[in-house]
Amino acid sequence: MFKASFHPFLIPDDNSFKLNKAATEPGKKAPDDEECERRLAACVEEIADLQHILYAHDRYALLLVFQAMDAAGKDGTIRAVLSGVNPAGCHVTSFKVPSAEELDHDFLWRTTRHLPERGRIGVFNRSYYEEVLVVRVHPEFLGAQRLPNGVNNRNFWQWRYESIREHEQHLARNGTVILKFFLNVSKDEQRKRFLSRLEEPEKHWKFSEKDVAEREHWDQYMAAYEEALNETSRPWAPWYAIPADNKDFMRLTVAEIIRDTLKALNLSYPRPDPQALSRFNEMRAMLEKDK
Ligand code: ATP
Ligand code: MG
C-alpha cells in the first residue's frame, strides 16, 4: 500500500497540526515566480508521462482531493497541474450543494460514483470532506439529510471521521493512491481576491455574495479544517497544507507532490512473457509477408 514520505507541508498523523501555525505564504527560500513557472512546465510534462505509464501498468488509480476556502485557487491549480495529461486519462468532478437524489443516500455515495478507475487520475474539486467542513459550520444543513438517529449524538462528528478514514483505507488497500490538498489562503489574501473580482469586469462572474457571507464564519471554518485534517491525515491518505497566497508557488508545490508520488510507485510498462514475445516474431513475419 502506498505510504507518504516526509514533506514539509505534510500533515502528520499524530494530531499535532496547528492551522494558525501553517504558512499561507512561501518561505524565504522558495523559488521566485519565474522559476516556479519554469519548473511547473517541466513537472506537468513528467506527470503526463507518468500517467501514461500508470495506465499501462494498470494496478493503481490516483485520487486527488482539493479543499479550500473560496478564492484559494482550486480551479486554477487543477487546470495548471493537469494541463498536460491526456484528457482520457483524467477526470475532474466538482461537488456543489447536494441534489435531492444525493441527499437520499449516505454521504459517501455521490463521490464514490466518480472515483477513478485503475490507470486513471480522478480529481475531486471539493469532496465528502464538505460533510465535516461546511456542514460542521452549518449543522442546520443536516436537517435535509434526514438521518434516523438524529445528529445530537455526541459522537456524530467522530463517526463521520471514522467513516472517511475507513473509506480511504479501503480504497488504498485496493490500489487507489490518495493525495489530499488543503490550499491554505489567508483571510487577507481572500479579501484582496474578492475585491479584484469586484473591480475587474472580466472577473465579475466569479463574484458571489454568498462567498462574502461565508467569510463571516472564517474562524469556525478554520477550527473545522484543523480538526478534520488532523483526524484524517494518514500515511496512505495524507493531507498537505499548501501555502496558497502565491499561486505560482502553490501550483508548483502541488505538481511536485503528485509527480514525486507517481515516481515513488515505481511504475513500469508491463513486459510481455517469453511466449508472447516469440508470438510477436511470428506476427511480425506474417505482417511483413502480407504486402
Ligand atoms: P467556484 O466558486 O470556483 O465555481 P465552488 O466550489 O466554490 O467553485 P460554488 O458553486 O460556488 O462552487 O459552491 C459550492 C458550494 O457547495 C460551496 O459553498 C460548498 O461548501 C457547498 N457544498 C459542497 N458540498 C456540500 C455538502 N455536502 N453540503 C452542503 N454544502 C455543500
Ligand atoms: Mg464558490
Helix axes 74-82, 247-264, angle to 10 degrees: 50
Whose alpha carbon is nearest atom 29 of ligand 1? 97
- Asked if residues 256 and 43 have their Cβ atoms less than 8 Å apart, the reply is yes
**Which amino acids bring their CB within 6 angstroms of ligand 1?**
70, 75, 94-98, 126, 130-131, 134-135, 141, 208
- Nearest-atom number in ligand 1 for the CA of 94 is 6
CA-wise closest residue to 166 among 253, 99, 241, 106: 106
- Asked if residues 17 and 230 have their Cβ atoms less than 8 Å apart, the reply is yes
Burial class (CB in 10 A: 0-12, 13-18, 19+), 173: exposed
> What are the two backbone dihedrals, phi and then psi, of residue 6, each rounded to the nearest 5 degrees?
-55, 140
Whose alpha carbon is nearest atom 20 of ligand 1? 134
E-assigned strand segments in the chain: 61-68, 90-94, 121-125, 176-184, 239-243
CATH number of 19-290: 3.40.50.300
- Expressed in angstroms and rounded, the spacing between residue 218 Cα and the centre of ligand 2 is 15
* Average pLDDT of the segment spanning 200-211: 95
Note the pLDDT of residue 150. 67
Each residue of 125-166: pLDDT tens digit?
Answer: 999 999 999 999 999 999 899 998 767 788 999 999 999 999
* Average pLDDT of the segment spanning 210-230: 97
pTM of the model: 0.96
- Nearest-atom number in ligand 1 for the CA of 214 is 18
- Nearest-atom number in ligand 1 for the CA of 102 is 27
- Asked if residues 180 and 124 have their Cβ atoms less than 8 Å apart, the reply is no
110: pLDDT strictly greater than 70: yes
How many helices and strands, by DSSP H and E, does the chain display?
Answer: 11, 5
Q: Which of 65, 70, 97 to mutate to test the pocket of ligand 1 (most atoms within 8 A of CB)?
A: 97
Cell numbers given for 83: 494541463
- Nearest-atom number in ligand 1 for the CA of 131 is 27
Distance CA 198, CA 282 (A): 68
Whose alpha carbon is nearest atom 25 of ligand 1? 97
